[in-house]
Structure 1
Amino acid sequence: MLIVYHNGATVVELANVKAFDVDKFSLKSISSALIEVAKNHPEEILVWCHIDFKLQLNVSAIEKLLHHKKVLLSYNPSDIPFLDSAIGYIDASLFIQINKAVPFPTWQMSSIVGCVNSEVLLALNNEITLDKNFDYFLCSLGKLMMPKGLLCYSEPQLLKNESKSIIAKTSQYTLFRFVKQHYRTRWVFLLLFNLFIYERKFPLLPFLFSLFYKNRSKTNINLDDIKVQSSRKVIDKATVDVIIPTIGRKNYLYDVLKDFSKQTLLPKKIIIVEQNPETESTTELDYLTNEKWPFEIQHIFTHQAGVCNARNLALNETQSEWVFLADDDNRFEATLLSDIFSKVEQYGNEVVTTSYPQKNEIKKYTKVIQWPTFGAGNSFVPRAILTDVKFNKAFEFGYGEDGDFGMQLRNLGYDILYLPEPEILHLKAPVGGFRTKPVLRWHNESIQPKPSPTIMLYQMAHCSKEQMNNYKTILFFKYYKFQTIKNPIRYYIYFQKQWQRSVFWANKLNKQNEI
């Protein structure tokens, strides 16, 4: 482990680094110094730390935290991020609003403290400019490498305590430059527009200067040669229970059970929650008792419809070490469960979501990456952490329950990884399922809420103020061509009323269905 201490501008001290003199780096940027150290120590862990935090650096924890070679960690004890919260005006992802209390996925790295394996820096191969501003370089590194399979986290355990902080707030010139270099050009215009609309600012010069910078997104960085084998032990017994909510899909569910019966690693128990809102109805799943199955089947029949309620009922009945959240219209190979456990062991990550293509759909993501949502029909979760989360019934019959469930997991410190292999085929059956939804309370209102109150509820719960305002801006323009009011001023007034009704119903849902 090699430690580089800096003062924010240059390297001032080296620990465990031989053949280097600090004076050698006096005229070099911190990022250049790190690359040079990496070239001379290609198999080491590189740590950077601001000199003011030297005594707080938790050196003894670093090797455990950096549990495989494709991990990038940093921590900023300040509540003010380097790029400012205004980055939310153009980035709607969950990586923007960071929970500082737990390890949290984000590309927003910090110069205060952090660590990475030398192999990651060597893989850059001069594809990224070694910016003089170290915070800018680190954020650029995280933003560009995260989609390529680098797992990036804010990790509070890098410091022993948070008695002091350094505020390195960026200028608007830097913010606009970062947006231009890491997003599509149109987002620079959107940033300017949102700053004017919501903050009454019009930073014309930062906007104009940013247009001269070249975008960095199309880099040829490849991390595939970096081998991953986590030192963490997250699997003990490798037993799994499966939960499946179902409604009106007898034949599809039968095929799913047959696929499970052929698994090389059989599930211990499959919990099926069958729903039929007809009060006089009874189960149609006769094959659950007429046939023999190589696992226990627990069948719950209920007249209460709703996928959130169904999954919560099933989760309460799980007993094995792991839980597979499945769906009633999936198909998969016989090695699905064993292959997933192999990936979990390799990456040392507790929560994974598999590739979930429909028939003839081309797979878009081919690398193991940090997933921005959660698949409620194709995910593995340890049962031990499910005692603190559940599907929020405020989202029942709406949208966002799976994303909300994923955010609950992340706010407990559990990231969600996407696995391109193995994959689960999603048939998206045209019959039954939860696509038959009841008439919701706001459907008969004269002013229809926009967006859907459940989408608004998710925004209010998990997005920053800037992200919500950006969502409002985009929705305003996208919805314009689909509605009948063509006078822009009248449309704006009506849209504001729709937005307020959505906020009203979102708050009402939240109060009536508090977890």
Structure 2
Amino acid sequence: MIVIYHSFAKIREVLKEGNQKIDFDSQSSLAKFLHNIAQRFPNEKIVWCHWDCKANLNLEAIISLFHHNQLMLSFNPGVHSFLGRKIGYVEESLCVSVNKKVSYPTWQMSSAVGVIHASVVIALKDQIPLDVDFDYYLNSVAKLAMPLGLFCYSEPRLLSGSMDWISPKANSFTLFKFVKQHYKTRWVFLLGLNLALYESQWMILPYFYALFFKRRKTTAFPFNLRSVQSSKQVVDKATIDVIIPTIGRKQYLYDVLCDLRIQTHLPKKVIIVEQNPILESASELDYLTTESWPFEIKAIFTHQAGACNARNLAIDEVTSEWVFLADDDIRIEKDFNFKILETINRMGAEAVSICCIQKGEKPRFKTIFQWGSFGSGCSFVARKAIEKCSFNRGYEFGYGEDSDFGMQLRNQGIDVLYIPEPQILHLKAPMGGFRTKPVLQWQKETIQPKPSPTVMLYRLLHQTQEQRSAYKTTLFFKFYSKQTIKNPLKYLISYKKQWNQSLYWANQLKKQS
């Protein structure tokens, strides 16, 4: 392990394990020196730490936290990030509102403290410019490499104890430059528009300044994820419970059970929650008792429809080490469970969502990476992580419960990885014949909410004010061509009423849930 102590632009001290001092060029920028030291010590972890954080640096923790070489960990003990809250006007993802109490997935890195493996620095050589501003460089590396399979986290355990820290903060020119170099050009315009609309700031000079810079792109795929081998022990007993909510799909569910029956790694228990809102109805799943199954089947029948309620009932019955949240209209290969557990153990993951595609559809992603969502019908989660989570009933019969559940996991310090293979075939079966269309609370309102209140609920619970404002702007433009009011002023008045209606009902759902 190599530790670089610095005072932003100046390197103060470089130590190898055993407090062995390493010579350095005091005139070198931190980014350039990081590359030089990686070339000299290609098998080492490289730690950076600001001089003011030296007494709080937790070197012992890094050994366990850095459980494989394709990690980038950092922590900003201050209140504000380098790019500040205004990056929310262009960044919609969960990476903006960082939970600093737990290990949290984000590309927002800090010069205060961090660690990366030398092999990653070498892999990115010549792909990302060595910016003089170290914070800018670190954020650029994480932003560009995170979608390619570099696993980036805000990790509070890098520092011990409490301390006062004022993070360096990008000015308006730097912010606009970062947006131009890491997003599509239209977001530079939208950043300026949002600042004018919501903060009455007219950033004309930063806007034109940013246009002189080209967008940064990685020209080659730099990482070999098949070589990753985590030192974390996440699979012990390797037992699996499967959760399947179902409603009116008797034959499709039977096929799923048959796929589970022939698995090379059998589940221990399958928990089926059958829903039928007709009060005098009874279960139609006769094969659960007339056929022999190589696993325990826990059948729950309820007259209350709703996937959120059904999955919560099933979660209460989970006893195995791992939970497979499945749909009732999927197909899987016979070695599916075995391969997923193998990948989970290799990556040191505690929650994964698996590539789920329809017949003839090509998968969009081909590598393992940190996913921004969650699939409630295609995911494996460790039981110890799922015990403190539930599907928020405020999303029932709407959209967003998947993403909300994923955020509950992340706010516990459990990241969600996307696994491209083995794949799940999603048949998209027709809805059961006895389903009834739910009557939503706002359905009879004269002014219909836009967006859907369940979509707004997610944004209220998990996004910043800047992110919600940016969404309001983009939604305005997206729906303009799809609605009947063509007078821009009249449309704006109507849109504001619909947005406020959505906010009202989202807050009602928040209270009810």
TM-score by length of 1: 0.97
SS at match of 2:13: strand
Q: Deviations over 1:56-98 (max 9, x none)?
A: 0001111111100110000001111101111111110011110
State whether structure 2 residue 349 is matched by structure 1 residue 352.
Answer: no
Quick one: which amino acid aligns to residue 39 of structure 1? Q
Q: 1:218 to 1:60 in 2, by over 3 A?
A: closer
Match of 1:340 in 2: 340
| Count of aligned pairs | 511
Q: Deviations over 1:406-457 (max 9, x none)?
A: 0000000000001111111111112329986412121111000111000010
Match of 2:363 in 1: 363
Match of 1:161 in 2: 161
Match of 1:417 in 2: 417
CA distance in 2, matches of 1:487, 1:498: 16
| TM-superposed deviation, 1:279 | 1.1
CA distance in 2, matches of 1:170, 1:10: 18
Q: Deviations over 1:149-169 (max 9, x none)?
A: 000000000000231102211
Match of 1:114 in 2: 114
Describe how 1:427-466 pairs up with structure 2 within 5 A.
427-432=427-432, 437-466=437-466
Quick one: which amino acid aligns to residue 42 of structure 1? P
Match of 1:130 in 2: 130
Give the conservation status (yes or no) of the 8 Å contact 2:127–2:217: no
Give the conservation status (yes or no) of the 8 Å contact 2:70–2:150: yes
CA distance in 1, matches of 2:204, 2:218: 27
SS at match of 2:227: coil
Instruction: Show structure 1 runs of 5+ residues with no match.
Output: none
CA distance in 2, matches of 1:176, 1:429: 46
State whether structure 2 residue 405 is matched by structure 1 residue 405.
Answer: yes
Give the conservation status (yes or no) of the 8 Å contact 1:125–1:221: no
CA distance in 2, matches of 1:303, 1:413: 35
Give the conservation status (yes or no) of the 8 Å contact 1:308–1:392: yes
Give the conservation status (yes or no) of the 8 Å contact 2:14–2:21: no
CA distance in 2, matches of 1:283, 1:151: 45
Quick one: which amino acid aligns to residue 210 of structure 1? A
Give the conservation status (yes or no) of the 8 Å contact 2:350–2:385: no
CA distance in 1, matches of 2:323, 2:356: 17
Give the conservation status (yes or no) of the 8 Å contact 2:8–2:50: yes
Is the deviation greater in 214-223 or in 375-384?
214-223
| TM-superposed deviation, 1:221 | 4.2
Q: Deviations over 1:300-325 (max 9, x none)?
A: 11110000000000110111111110
CA distance in 1, matches of 2:455, 2:434: 17
CA distance in 2, matches of 1:376, 1:504: 27
Quick one: which amino acid aligns to residue 97 of structure 2? Q
| TM-superposed deviation, 1:219 | 2.6
Q: Deviations over 1:174-216 (max 9, x none)?
A: 1111111011011111101001000000111111011111111
Q: Deviations over 1:248-307 (max 9, x none)?
A: 111110110000001001001101000011112111111111111111111111110000
CA distance in 1, matches of 2:221, 2:482: 41
CA distance in 2, matches of 1:121, 1:11: 18
Match of 2:181 in 1: 181
Q: Deviations over 1:366-413 (max 9, x none)?
A: 111001000000111111222211000010000000100000000000
| TM-superposed deviation, 1:226 | 7.7
Q: 1:186 to 1:463 in 2, by over 3 A?
A: same
Quick one: which amino acid aligns to residue 86 of structure 2? A
SS at match of 2:428: coil
| TM-superposed deviation, 1:27 | 1.5
Q: 1:227 to 1:133 in 2, by over 3 A?
A: same
Quick one: which amino acid aligns to residue 278 of structure 1? I
Describe how 1:299-310 pairs up with structure 2 within 5 A.
299-310=299-310
Match of 1:139 in 2: 139
Match of 1:66 in 2: 66
Q: 1:296 to 1:290 in 2, by over 3 A?
A: same
Match of 1:45 in 2: 45
Describe how 1:26-425 pairs up with structure 2 within 5 A.
26-224=26-224, 227-425=227-425
Q: 1:433 to 1:125 in 2, by over 3 A?
A: farther
Match of 2:473 in 1: 473
Q: Percent identity?
A: 55
CA distance in 1, matches of 2:366, 2:102: 28
